[in-house]
Amino acid sequence: MSTSPSAATRRFLLPSLLIALLAGLLYLPGLPGEFVFDDYPNIVNNPAIQLQELSVGELKRVITTPQPSGSTRNLPNLTFALDYWRGGADPATFKSTNILIHALTAFALAWLFRSLLLAAGVDKARAYWPAAAMALAWAAHPLLVSSVLYVVQRLQTMGTLFLVLSLLAYLRARRAQIAGRPGRTGLLGTALLWIAAISCKEDAAALPAYTLALELTVLRFKAADPRLAGLLRRGYLVMAVAAAVVYFLWVVPNRWHWDAYPGRDFSTPERLLTQARVLAMYLGQIVLPLPSHMPFFYDWLVPSRGFLQPWTTLASIGLILGLLALAWHQRLKQPLLALGILLFFSAHFITSNVVGLELAYEHRNHFALIGALLAVGSVLAGAFRRLRLDRPTQAVICSAMLLALCGATMVRAHSWSSNLRFAQAATVAAPHSARAWIQLCAEYYALGGGPRPDNSLLDSAIAACNSGSTLAPGSLNSPALRIVLKTLRGDIASQDWEDFRQRMKNAPRSGDNRRAPTLLTYNARRGVKLDQQELLKVFAAQDETTSLHPSELASIGDFIMNDMDQPDLAMPYFTKAIALLPPLDPFPMQLASALHAKGRPDLAEKIRQLALDKMQTAFSQTT
Q: Give the Å distances, CA to CA, from 131 to 111, 283, 288, 446.
A: 7, 21, 21, 46
Answer yes or no: are the C-beta atoms of 255 and 356 closer than 8 Å. yes
pLDDT at 61: 87
Residues 107 and 232 in one domain: yes
pLDDT surpassing 60 at residue 22: yes
pLDDT at 10: 77
Q: Rounded CA gap, 483 and 285, in Å?
A: 37
Select from 69, 146, 141, 80 the least CA-distant residue to 363. Answer: 146
Instruction: Report if residue 83 sits inside a domain.
Output: no
Residues 230 and 304 in one domain: yes
Q: Rounded CA gap, 373 and 389, in Å?
A: 21
Whether the bond into 41 is cis, omega within 30 of 0: no
- Identify residue 263 by its one-letter amino acid code: G
Q: What is the pLDDT of residues 300-354, one digit of tens each?
A: 999 999 999 999 999 999 999 999 999 999 999 999 999 999 999 999 999 999 9
Instruction: Report if residue 70 sits inside a domain.
Output: no
Residues 338 and 398 in one domain: yes
Q: Rounded CA gap, 552 and 337, in Å?
A: 51
Residues 334 and 284 in one domain: yes
pLDDT-based confidence at residue 8 (cuts at 50, 70, 90)? low
Select from 424, 505, 501, 507 the least CA-distant residue to 467. Answer: 424
Residues 443 and 366 in one domain: no
pLDDT at 1: 37
Instruction: Report if residue 125 sits inside a domain.
Output: yes
pLDDT-based confidence at residue 126 (cuts at 50, 70, 90)? confident
Residues 481 and 586 in one domain: no
Q: Check which CATH number belongs to the domain holding 451 and give it.
A: 1.25.40
Residues 409 and 438 in one domain: no
In the chain, pLDDT over 70 holds for what percent of residues? 98
Q: What is the pLDDT of residues 67-77, one digit of tens each?
A: 787 777 889 99
Select from 267, 279, 503, 490 the least CA-distant residue to 372. Answer: 279
Least confident piece of the model among 21-30, 237-246, 505-514, 577-586: 505-514
pLDDT-based confidence at residue 566 (cuts at 50, 70, 90)? very high
Within 8 A by CB and 6+ apart from 56, the residues are: none
Which of these three, 415, 442, 462, is where a domain ends?
415
Residues 409 and 435 in one domain: no
Neighbours of 192 (CB within 10 A): 14
Neighbours of 113 (CB within 10 A): 27
Residues 379 and 333 in one domain: yes
**Number of compact structural domains in the chain:** 3
Q: What is the pLDDT of residues 267-291, one digit of tens each?
A: 999 999 999 999 999 999 999 999 9
Which contacts of 210-214 are long-range, i.e. CB under 8 A and separated by 24 or more positions? 210/163, 210/167, 210/343, 210/346, 210/347, 211/167, 211/170, 212/236, 212/239, 212/240, 213/339, 213/342, 213/343, 213/346, 214/167, 214/170, 214/171, 214/174, 214/339
Instruction: Report if residue 79 sits inside a domain.
Output: no
Average confidence (pLDDT) over 403-420: 96
Q: What is the 3-state secondary structure (H, E, C) of 421-464?
A: HHHHHHHHHCCCCHHHHHHHHHHHHHHCCCCCCCCCCHHHHHHH
Q: What is the pLDDT of residues 181-224, one digit of tens each?
A: 999 999 999 999 999 999 999 999 999 999 999 999 999 999 99
pLDDT at 256: 95
In the chain, pLDDT over 90 holds for what percent of residues? 82
Residues 273 and 366 in one domain: yes
pLDDT at 2: 44
pLDDT at 7: 67
Instruction: Report if residue 515 sits inside a domain.
Output: yes
Residues 403 and 448 in one domain: no
DSSP-derived secondary structure for 267-322: -HHHHHHHHHHHHHHHHHHHHS--GGG--S--TTPPPP-BTTBSTHHHHHHHHHHH
Give the three-class secondary structure for 533: helix
pLDDT-based confidence at residue 3 (cuts at 50, 70, 90)? very low
pLDDT at 4: 53
Instruction: Report if residue 58 sits inside a domain.
Output: no
Q: What is the mean pLDDT of the chain?
A: 93
Average confidence (pLDDT) over 253-260: 93
Within 8 A by CB and 6+ apart from 548, the residues are: 542, 556, 576
Q: Give the Å distances, CA to CA, from 7 to 18, 169, 207.
A: 18, 20, 31
Instruction: Report if residue 560 sits inside a domain.
Output: no
Determine which helix (DSSP H) or strand (DSSP E) holds 92, and give its type and residue range. helix 91-119
Which of these three, 359, 384, 415, is where a domain ends?
415
Average confidence (pLDDT) over 466-487: 94
Which of these three, 415, 448, 483, is where a domain ends?
415
Buried b (16+ CB within 10 A) or exposed e, 297-327: bbbbbebbeeeeeeeebbebbebbeebeeeb
Burial of 489 per CB tally in 10 Å (0-12, 13-18, 19+): middle
> In the beta sheet, which residues pair with residue 306?
309
Instruction: Report if residue 73 sits inside a domain.
Output: no
Q: What is the pLDDT of residues 510-541, one digit of tens each?
A: 888 888 999 999 999 999 999 999 999 999 99
Q: What is the pLDDT of residues 137-187, one digit of tens each?
A: 999 999 999 999 999 999 999 999 999 999 999 999 999 999 999 999 999
Residues 366 and 462 in one domain: no
Domain enclosing residue 504, as ranges = 431-547
DSSP conformational letter for 188: H
